[in-house]
Structure 1
Amino acid sequence: MTNLFSTFDPTTSMFNMPLNWSSLILGVLFIPMPFWLIPTRISMIWIKSMYYLHKELKTLLNSKTSSLMFTSLFMMILMNNFLGLMPYIFTSTSHLITSLTLALPLWLSFMIFGWINNTQHMFTHLVPLGTPGPLMPFMVCIETISNIIRPGTLAIRLTANMIAGHLLLTLLGNTGNSMSTTLMPMLMMLQLALLTLEGAVSIIQSYVFTVLSTLYSSEVNYEK
């Protein structure tokens, strides 16, 4: 198991500098300069997808909140998820420290803003509508715990999905040496199918992370 999980160890270094974590900003190097200047087909597809995401997030947010931070968060997670599918590139989103670095400051800023500016609204959120009187203390405890574990569930969901797909690809790839030549095409087709599935998971998980962060923000930004 140590050898299996060693693909997720950030051990590559040069001059005592960890090179694995440079994959967080590595995606910017793959974008050519004309992408920002000339409206090519790729840039138009990217801009249209960001526009549709912006429209969907604006339905969850109120009119005073901008969706720029959440669309940027989606772009960052999506780029890192896809970079992790390439050979010899460290998957930074498969580590809990990266996803917690994204989820915890967001949740903490929402909580601080909500409890300072909308204290009464935050208190009413602890007791769902129609809760019987004897159950109110228990509901307050349950809602408080579910609110506290939100950044953890966001981070673990992203990390676990990234680890699971990469482990499955690694396990199947390691069986290729001991497999017969007749079964090799089947293994290659299965690996391609898993790679396609992992690409879809990369998009879905970045979208889920962004939408849930937006929902947490919309609960706090209450318009009176």
Structure 2
Amino acid sequence: MRIATWNVNSLKVRLPHVLDWLAAEKPDALCLQELKMEDKAFPLEALQEAGYQAIFNGQKTYNGVAILSPQPLADPVRDIPGFEDAQKRIIAGTLGDVRIICGYFPNGQAVGSEKFEYKLRWLAALTEWVRAEMAVHPKLVLTGDFNIAPEDRDAHPDWKDEIHVSAPEREAFRALTELGLTDAFRLFEQEERSFSWWDYRMGAFRRNFGLRIDHLLVSEALTGASTACWVDKAPRKLERPSDHAPVVLDLAP
């Protein structure tokens, strides 16, 4: 099974890239973030023509998440149950016996800001819900744009901003792993300075000035089945790319 995550930073703009990537990589599930469109505008027909079904949770201009798959996704959940939030950041579904949770985690703006406090509240609510989901679904993948670089090696050494690398954010990431989730990317040897996001400005991609903030966390039942995990930089080299690259995980049957 191949599961991938990709913050497309506007599905309307990046739809041709997504369709080309689906045709080339043939994932069993592609989790998208930052759709930036309402559900009524979701390009379901174009995706169906490409052989993919979808569950999605969108809103106008901001946020929005989806999971695409050739197979039906069972038991969909939109938003964190019990957490009142107007922002559309969560979609979950079950593919075979694997529960997939796709999230667009809050950015946080700046450490100490109101948006940062919202980020921490959101992460705490997510953690408790994922704990409950894992009790029901031993095979679980939590994936998406976490907006957290969990270790120093996940940020360019010259990154000076506290956001994405602060102690509270990294502690929230650890709280998720302490549920019994493992960062699949770190199961395998990786190149130094492996990142998944690069700012559009200042030639950041060319200079590899980035962060690794897009993750696939797998439950213990899937850790041993993980055979490869990598960042696919090719879409970031296209014209009008997303500022994120897909991250891909392969699981043995």
Q: Classify the TM-score, shorter chain.
A: under 0.3
User: So what's the TM-score if we normalise by structure 1?
Assistant: 0.26
User: So what's the TM-score if we normalise by structure 2?
Assistant: 0.24
Larger Cα-atom Rg: 1
Structure number with the bigger relative contact order (C-alpha 8 A, sep ≥ 6) is 1
**Which protein has the bigger strand share?**
2
